[in-house]
Amino acid sequence: MATMLMVEEAPISADDALSTRPGPGLGSPNSTVRFDAIYRKVHPEVLRFIARRLIPPDFTRAEEIAHDTFTQLWQRKDNLPKDLGETRAWLFTVARNFLIKSNARGFRSRELSVQISDEAFGFIPDPVDRIGAQGLRIDLAAAWRQLTPAEQEIISLTYWDELSSTEAGKVLGISDRAYRIRLHRTRAKLKKLLEL
């Protein structure tokens, strides 16, 4: 059962605040509820997105970039997409741009390397399977390092960030078709690297 939240005179449920149906934008009387709902739902995802791209890992810096990203969300509350998926893609794009701008090495490229770890796989193997899983992680880590930063980002947007082709394309500034083509090529390359 959805929890009802009151904002001014109009009630809105937390589920409605995150609805992908057209509804009130963040500039409406229910904007605070919608912002809060988006923040609660998407902040952990944005933080993980940022943390995977910070080399060396720096949780404080990741939090700062996430804060700047959500500040942008609040400042643009009148012009945001109504769809949660589009809003997620917009937030990832903003976070990605902050990462590129804040890169201390003076990145000229718009490519970001993506780190992988045991947690990224979403499982911890049973003791019996640990040796086989460890071999798989070593193989994947070695193959991952052979991918370009652009290829790493293509894979991570789909599999770790769980964006659709349309959303991932928006994050990278390319069409969904171009994204699908790059994803297909990158998966084929990764598969070939794993078979070596």
Taking only the tens place, the pLDDT of each residue in 36-55 is: 889 999 999 999 999 888 87
Domain edge (last residue) among 75, 91, 113: 113
Indicate whether 118 belongs to any domain. no
| Eight-state DSSP code of residue 2 | P
* Single residue among 113, 139, 160 that ends a domain in this structure: 113
What pLDDT score was predicted for residue 114?
A: 67
C-beta atoms surrounding 19 within 10 Å: 16
DSSP 161: S
Look up the pTM and report it. Answer: 0.69
Instruction: Check whether residue 81 and residue 158 sit in a common domain.
Output: no
* Residue range of the domain that includes 1: 1-113
Count up the domains in the chain and report the number: 2
| Highest averaged pLDDT of the listed ranges 73-77, 90-94, 98-102, 118-122 | 90-94
